[in-house]
C-alpha cells in the first residue's frame, strides 16, 4: 500500500457505498470540480485497493444519480450541476446564496463614480437622477468553490455613495449598509430575463461563447418610493437557477 491510498473496512458498510461517499465528499469540498475528469478505473483501483467491479458499481450509481456524467471516448466527468436558489423575500444576492447554504467568495471588481453617457441613460432614468449628476457604481463577482456564478452590478445616487464608501464593499451586505446610514430598502421592483452574455460577462463568468445568462434587474425603493439602488445581477445560466414560491389569494 502506498502513501495516499484510501483504506476502507467492511465494518463501515459496502465497499462501493464507501467509495461513493468519498467521491461525493471530494466533489463537495471542491477537490473535484464541475467538468473535472474522474481518475480512471485503474487509478481508482490502486487508490481504493478494491476490484474494478467495485469501482464500476460506485461510478455507475453516481452516474445514475446525475453526480457524474460519461462522455463517449473521453471518460467520466463531474457533472456540471446547477445551484438552485429559492427566492421568497427581499434579499441581496450575497444573502440569498448564504441563506441557501452555499459557501461563496466575493470579489470587488469595480468601485467608482460614473459620469452620464447615452449608453447608461436607462440607469440614470431609473434612479431619477439628473444627467449632470454622477452615479456610484459597485461591481462584485460571486463564486462558489472557485467557480464564478454571479456578476452583481450596483448603481446608487452619488449622495449615497459618499456614505457607503466607509464600508468594506467587497464583503458587506448592501441592504444592511443602506440601513446603517439611514436609508433602508422597503420594497423592490424586479424583472428577470434571459439573454446572451457579452464579452466582459463571458470573461468574468468564464463562459464559452453563445452561452445564455439570466439577467435580473431590481430597483430598490425606500418607504417613500425613493430610488436607492438599481441592481443588475448577471447569473451563469448553465450553473444557476431560481425558484419562486407562489401563493394563490383567498377567494380565487
Torsion of CA 12, 13, 19, 23, to 10 degrees: -70
Query: Which CATH topology does 83-244 take?
Result: Chorismate lyase (3.40.1410)
Q: Is there a contact between 139 and 110 (Cβ–Cβ < 8 Å)?
A: yes
Q: What is the pLDDT of residues 1-53, one digit of tens each?
A: 344 445 455 444 588 899 999 998 888 788 888 778 899 999 999 999 999 99
Percent of the chain with pLDDT over 70: 86
The CATH 3.40.1410.10 domain(s) of the chain lie at 83-244
Residues carrying CATH 1.10.10.10, the chain? 10-78
Q: What is the pLDDT of residue 11?
A: 42
Whether domain 10-78 has CATH 1.10.10.10: the reply is yes
pLDDT per residue over 193-202, tens digit each?
Answer: 999 999 999 9
All three cell numbers of 142, joined, read: 460571486
What are the cell numbers at 13? 458498510
Low-confidence winner among 2-11, 147-156, 226-235 (lowest mean pLDDT): 2-11
Residue 182 Ramachandran class (φ > 0 left, ψ -120 to 50 alpha, else beta): left
The Cβ-side half-sphere exposure at 147, using a 13 Å CA radius, reads 26
What whole-number distance in Å separates Cα of residue 196 and Cα of residue 214? 9
Residue 157 pLDDT grade (very low, low, confident, very high; cuts 50, 70, 90): very high
Amino acid at each position: 500500500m502506498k502513501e495516499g491510498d484510501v483504506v476502507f473496512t467492511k465494518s463501515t458498510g459496502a465497499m462501493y457505498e464507501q467509495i461513493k461517499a468519498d467521491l461525493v465528499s471530494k466533489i463537495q469540498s471542491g477537490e473535484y470540480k464541475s467538468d473535472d475528469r474522474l481518475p480512471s478505473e485503474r487509478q481508482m483501483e490502486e487508490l481504493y485497493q478494491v476490484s474494478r467491479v467495485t469501482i464500476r458499481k460506485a461510478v455507475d450509481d453516481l452516474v445514475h444519480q446525475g453526480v457524474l456524467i460519461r462522455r463517449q471516448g473521453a471518460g467520466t466527468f463531474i457533472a456540471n450541476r446547477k445551484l438552485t436558489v429559492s427566492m421568497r423575500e427581499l434579499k441581496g444576492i450575497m444573502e440569498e446564496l448564504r441563506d441557501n447554504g452555499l459557501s461563496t467568495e466575493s470579489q470587488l471588481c469595480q468601485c467608482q463614480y460614473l459620469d452620464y453617457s447615452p449608453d447608461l441613460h436607462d440607469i440614470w432614468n431609473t434612479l431619477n437622477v439628473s444627467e449632470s449628476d454622477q452615479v456610484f457604481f459597485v461591481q462584485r463577482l460571486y463564486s462558489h468553490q472557485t467557480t464564478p456564478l454571479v456578476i452583481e452590478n450596483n448603481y446608487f445616487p452619488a449622495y449615497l455613495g459618499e456614505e457607503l464608501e466607509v464600508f468594506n464593499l467587497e464583503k458587506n451586505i448592501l441592504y444592511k449598509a443602506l440601513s446603517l446610514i439611514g436609508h433602508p430598502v422597503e420594497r423592490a421592483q424586479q424583472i428577470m430575463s434571459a439573454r446572451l452574455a457579452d464579452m466582459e460577462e463571458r470573461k468574468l463568468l468564464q463562459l464559452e461563447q453563445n452561452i445564455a445568462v439570466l439577467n435580473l434587474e431590481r430597483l430598490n425603493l425606500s418607504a417613500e418610493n425613493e430610488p436607492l439602488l438599481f441592481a443588475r445581477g448577471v447569473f451563469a445560466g448553465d450553473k444557476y437557477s431560481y425558484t419562486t414560491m407562489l401563493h394563490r389569494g383567498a377567494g380565487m
